């Protein structure tokens, strides 16, 4: 018997995409088919950005499925975007093949919830806010809308970027309503958090906090001055030393640096040249005619006293920690030898916390309590109930001498 097989030579390969047009959102399904005008006994090879799509598990296109003449991606991500083409081959005559032209697949990112913020500027005698709506993710084009008390006051199609600006007139010191920003595309509509459109002028009192920073050897090395004001939405700050403004502060300066938009002044080193009385001044940044509000002067200088205090605190704290530990060890040792005796010795009820069979080792006190002298009082009471021998009394006297 003669078995005849008819082989039709391949021709006219082309890619058909579902969806069509080939634009789809992340997470959706993409199906590409390699169709031919004519041909039988065909095998197919796919190319993505000119690279063959292999069935290796390391292939960048995973997860996806090659099935007959189709390539299916169940969950499209940005990496799946790009140019695809296929080659159909007649299996029995390896030389014959037909190659499709390229199809460009676009994958659109989902939008993220827009963020809303505003700045203010003065124009003549009136004020205007520049409201920014911004999404961090998504594929343009998108439409931004601005709502003030749920009334649309502006809309803008953003073809290139994911940001839009809207001018809104304001009166400082007045609550102008609640702003919302909305962003939408053909698949999503997202709304920002509400933002009250209110510009509070700088006012109330201005104070300066100083924080000294110490080196490892507890020598004072730097200071951080922070300016606090009672209220004000858009303050600008400047600093003065002994009454003269620190102009052009602090580019190129090794001793001063500004941080936090001028709110914080850092002294990298405290020297006689930068010691003195510092003041912080603040006013509305958007209005160069507004009045400055100034803080009381604060003195920045190297103080031996402060150093000594820190050292004493450190010593007291260490001693206390050691005593507590020593007391604990003594107590536990004693308890192991004679549990009853130990428990009976602690007369104060607050000393017994968990059960009658345990002695309490007090945790070290916070530093504030140590400095306020409570620690020393507690040491007295600790040695008073002298059954729990916490202290060698010489050591305790030493501690007391240092603080006095």
Ligand X SMILES: *[C@@H]1O[C@H](CO)[C@@H](O)[C@H](O)[C@H]1NC(C)=O
Binding residues for ligand X (CB under 6 A): 27, 75, 77, 130, 165, 167, 241-242, 272-273, 275-277, 288-289
DSSP structure string for 257-281 = EEETTTTEEEESS--TTT-EEEEEE
When the beta carbons of 90 and 284 are compared against ligand X, the nearer one is 284
Cα–Cα distances (Å) from 4 to 7, 8, 193, in that order, read 10, 13, 73
When the beta carbons of 155 and 371 are compared against ligand X, the nearer one is 155
Compute the least distance from the CB of residue 26 to ligand X, in Å.
7
Separation CA 260–CA 195 (nearest Å): 22
When the beta carbons of 244 and 368 are compared against ligand X, the nearer one is 244
When the beta carbons of 271 and 309 are compared against ligand X, the nearer one is 271
Cα–Cα distances (Å) from 87 to 46, 57, 94, 153, 264, in that order, read 7, 21, 12, 54, 66
Ranges assigned E (strand) in 6-81: 14-18, 23-25, 30-35, 42-48, 51-52, 65-67, 70-73
When the beta carbons of 12 and 169 are compared against ligand X, the nearer one is 169
Compute the least distance from the CB of residue 130 to ligand X, in Å.
4
Residue 146: exposure state from Cβ atoms within 10 A (0-12, 13-18, ≥19) = buried
When the beta carbons of 80 and 89 are compared against ligand X, the nearer one is 80
Compute the least distance from the CB of residue 271 to ligand X, in Å.
9
Which distant-in-sequence residues (6+ apart) come within 8 Å of 141 by Cβ? 157, 158, 159, 185
When the beta carbons of 277 and 358 are compared against ligand X, the nearer one is 277
**Residue sitting closest to ligand X (CB):** 276
CB 202 within 8 A of CB 249: no
Compute the least distance from the CB of residue 127 to ligand X, in Å.
12
Compute the least distance from the CB of residue 143 to ligand X, in Å.
18
Compute the least distance from the CB of residue 84 to ligand X, in Å.
19
Compute the least distance from the CB of residue 89 to ligand X, in Å.
32
Helix 393-403 to helix 374-384 angle, to the nearest 10 degrees?
A: 160
CB 307 within 8 A of CB 220: yes
């Amino acid at each position: 018997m003669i078995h005849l097989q008819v082989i039709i030579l391949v021709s006219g390969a082309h890619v058909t995409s579902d969806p069509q047009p080939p634009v789809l959102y992340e997470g959706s399904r993409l199906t590409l088919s390699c169709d031919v005008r004519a041909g039988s006994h065909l095998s197919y090879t796919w190319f993505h950005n000119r690279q063959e799509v292999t069935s290796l598990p390391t292939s960048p296109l995973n997860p996806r499925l090659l099935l007959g003449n189709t390539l299916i991606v169940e969950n499209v991500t940005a990496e799946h975007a790009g140019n695809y083409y296929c080659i159909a081959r007649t299996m029995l005559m390896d030389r014959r093949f037909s190659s499709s032209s390229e199809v460009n697949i676009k994958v659109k990112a989902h939008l993220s919830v827009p963020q809303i913020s505003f700045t203010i500027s003065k124009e003549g005698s009136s004020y205007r806010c520049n409201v920014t709506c911004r999404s961090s993710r998504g594929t343009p084009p998108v439409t931004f809308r601005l709502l003030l008390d749920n009334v649309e006051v502006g809309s803008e199609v953003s073809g290139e970027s994911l940001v839009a600006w809207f001018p809104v007139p304001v009166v400082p010191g007045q609550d102008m309503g609640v702003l919302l920003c909305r962003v939408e595309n053909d698949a999503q509509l997202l709304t920002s958090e509400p933002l009250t459109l209110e510009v509070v002028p700088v006012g109330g009192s201005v104070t300066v906090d100083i924080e000294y920073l110490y080196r490892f050897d507890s020598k004072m090395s730097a200071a951080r001055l922070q300016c606090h004001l009672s209220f004000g939405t858009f303050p600008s700050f400047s600093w003065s030393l002994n009454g003269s403004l620190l102009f052009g502060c602090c580019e190129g300066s090794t001793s001063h640096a500004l941080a936090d938009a001028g709110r914080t002044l850092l002294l990298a080193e405290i020297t006689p040249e930068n010691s003195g009385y510092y003041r912080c001044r603040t006013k509305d940044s958007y209005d160069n005619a507004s009045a400055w509000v100034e803080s009381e002067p604060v003195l920045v200088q190297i103080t031996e006293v402060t150093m000594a205090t820190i050292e004493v605190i450190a010593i007291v704290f260490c001693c206390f920690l050691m005593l507590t530990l020593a007391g604990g060890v003594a107590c536990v040792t004693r308890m192991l030898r004679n549990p009853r005796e130990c428990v009976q010795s602690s007369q104060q009820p607050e000393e017994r916390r968990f059960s009658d069979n345990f002695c309490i080792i007090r945790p070290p006190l916070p530093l504030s309590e140590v400095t306020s002298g409570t620690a020393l009082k507690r040491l007295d009471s600790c040695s008073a109930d002298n059954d729990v021998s916490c202290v060698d009394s010489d050591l305790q006297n030493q501690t007391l001498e240092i603080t006095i």
